[in-house]
Every structure is written in structure tokens, then in C-alpha cells.
Amino acid sequence: MSVCLKDTKKKKKEDRPVKPIKRVPPPEKDDKNKLVKDNKNLTPDQVEALQDGEPAAMAAQQLNPMIIPDFFNNIRNNYYVANKIIWLTSFIEWPLITEVMRRLNFYDDGSKEPITLYLASPGGECDAGWALIDLMEKIKKHGTPIRTICAGSCSSMAAVILAAGSVGERYAFPSSRIMIHQAGVELTGGKLDDIANTTRELQYWTDTTAKYLSKVTKKPVKDIEKELCYDNYMSPTEAKKFGIIDKVDVFMA
């Protein structure tokens, strides 16, 4: 009986030819221009990176300096919200006061953390300013302190808003100026009765200011009325003595 023996030796694997690696040629000038067109809103650095042959994804990761201001604005705004800070630094009129009142409502969260209101204003409309003061008084009754800070100058209606802060929390920068006076208006003409009506309205706002400043400064109304008869400019030290502010300091919330 014959036995067929299989060859137990392992056959050598046949050598397979190695495929050459295809080299991708750098993009031609027309291709580079197409990449730039396909990737809009690129900075000069990103365009240069694309034209130098960098992939679009890598070029897009180049730092865009145009977003840096927005980045810091977001950080600043988040800081103001977290610390309940408001800036009133313009003529007092309804568009500005509406925004300030919206923020006051938002910051009135029932906590004892004070709301900080920075002021640098030449004054403005009486009705808008007194609407803000009414809201400030309501919030203070809720138990939320309102810290007012004069940075630069507070004149006319702005000085009354400064005095409306919580007692002990009214500040003024050392070089600031504070001015109080009667309500006024620039008349360019009109009938006698119209002028008389305007005079009565001005007298109403002047009396309201005198009574309120008497309340917050603990001075008699007649003394306040005398101080309002002219543009009464004060230094921070004089304003503190008068009772409009409590402290002269650079307070940073």
C-alpha cells in the first residue's frame, strides 16, 4: 500500500508589489483662489494660510482678531450681570431710563446683594428721572439695597438720582462734581397761557425735588428751596456735608 506524503514545508509567500504613494500636488493658483472664495469671512492671516497651501480646516483655526472685542464684551457684560452693575452715563431721557429700569427689575431678585448704579450725567427729563426714582424706592422697600456712585459729574436730575441711593451706599469719586438747581426749560416762544402752564409744571417738579431732597438729607424744605434757586455746584466733600452722598471714594463693584 503506497502512502502519498504531503509536502509539509511552508510555501514562501509571493512578494507583492508595493503600490507607490500618490503625492498630492499643491493646489494651483486657480485652486487657491477657489478655496478663498469658498471660505468667506476670512481674515488676511487666514487667506495667507490658504494661499500657502494649508488645508482649509487649519486655516480656519487661525486666530481671528476681529472676534476679540466681542469676546471681551461678553466677559464684561457677564461680569456686570453677575455683580448687578448698571451704568447711566448719558442725557436722562426715556430710551435710556427704560433700559435702566428693565435692568433694575431684572436685578431685583429678592437677595440682599446691592444693585450698583454708576452715574455720570448732565441731567435731563424730569418725568423719566422721577419714574426711575419711584422704581428705586420700591426696590429698596423690597429689601434690596441700591448703591449709587457719581463718576465724573452728576447734575440736575442725575444728582437727585444719586441722592436716591440707599443710605450709607451713596458714593462720589474724589474729583467728581455734583450740581442741583430748579427745574428749567428753554422757551422759544408761545402764548401767555401756554407759558403760564409751563411755569406751573416747572414749579411742580421743583417742589417735588425740594421735598425729596429734604427727606433724604434731613434738611428743612425751605433751606433746600434756597439751595435750588441757582446752579449749586458742590465738591464731593460739600455734597457729603449737604447729605446727598455718604462717602467720598473710588468704589469699584
Active site residues: 156, 181
Rounded to whole angstroms, how far apart are CA atoms 72 and 68? Answer: 6
Angle at 166 between CA 162 and CA 168, to 5 degrees: 100
Helix (H) / strand (E) element for 232: namely strand 232-234
> Left, alpha or beta for 195 (phi > 0: left; psi -120 to 50: alpha)?
alpha
- CA distances to 33, 36, 57, 60, 232 from 51, in Å: 8, 8, 13, 13, 66
Rounded to whole angstroms, the Cα distance separating 176 from 152 reads 4
Nearest to 174 by CA among 251, 82, 94: 251
The per-residue DSSP string of 157-209 comes to HHHHHHHTSPTT-EEE-TT-EEEE-----------HHHHHHHHHHHHHHHHHH
Residue type, 26: P
SS3 23: coil
